[in-house]
Copies of this chain bind each other. A is one copy, B any other.
C-alpha cells in the first residue's frame, strides 16, 4: 500500500474539517444563524473539490458518490460552531484553519487530477484550484474580498502553487508519492503561516493613477 493511499483519505477528512472550521469562523463573524452558518461551512469545505470534479468531468462528484463526506463535514461544522459560540476564537484562528485547508486540498486536488490521468500543468492548476476555491467561495458568499486577493493576506496562491509544484517535481525526481505529498503540504503551510505570522510577502503590483 503506497503512501498516497494513506494520505488521500486523511487529507480529505482533515481538509473538510478545517475548511468547515474556517467557514464556521467566517459565519460567526457575520452573525449568521445556525443553518446559514452550516451552509457556508459546507460550501467552504466542499467547494474546491466540487469545482475540480466538474472541470475534470469526474462524476458522481465526490460528495454525491460518498455522502459520508457530507456527514463528516456537518459534524466538523457543528463542532466548529460550538467552538465559535463558546470559545470566541480570534481572527488568527481563521487564518490558520484556512492555511491547513489550503495545504490539504492543494495536494489532494493534485492527487485526484493525477488519478484522472492528467499530467504536468493541469495537475498543478487543479491542485491550485482545489486548494484556493473553497476559501474563495466562502469569502465571495460572505460578501468579502477573498483572502486570496487581499493585499494584507500575502503568499496565498503562491503557497498553494509552490506546494503543488514541489509535489509534482519531487515525484518526477523519484520522491515517494507519500513523502512528496507530505512535503508539498508542509511547504504550503510553511509559506502561508510564514506570511501570516512573520510577514513574508512577494512584491505587490504598483498602479497609482487608475480611477474608481
Contacts and interface: CB of A to CB of B under 8 A. Distances in A.
Interface of A: 25, 27-40, 50, 54-57, 59-61, 64, 67, 70-71, 81, 84-85, 88-91, 94, 118, 120-122, 125, 128, 132, 136, 140-146, 148-149, 151, 154-158, 161, 201-212
Contacts of A205: 27-28, 31-34, 37, 81, 84-85
Contact of A143 (B27, B34, B61, B149): B149
Contacts of A201: 33
A149 B30 contact: yes
A73 to B, nearest CB: 11
Contacts of A50: 55
Nearest to A68: B121
Contact of A209 (B90, B143, B155): B90
A60 B47 CA distance: 20
A146 B149 CA distance: 16
A166 B143 CA distance: 31
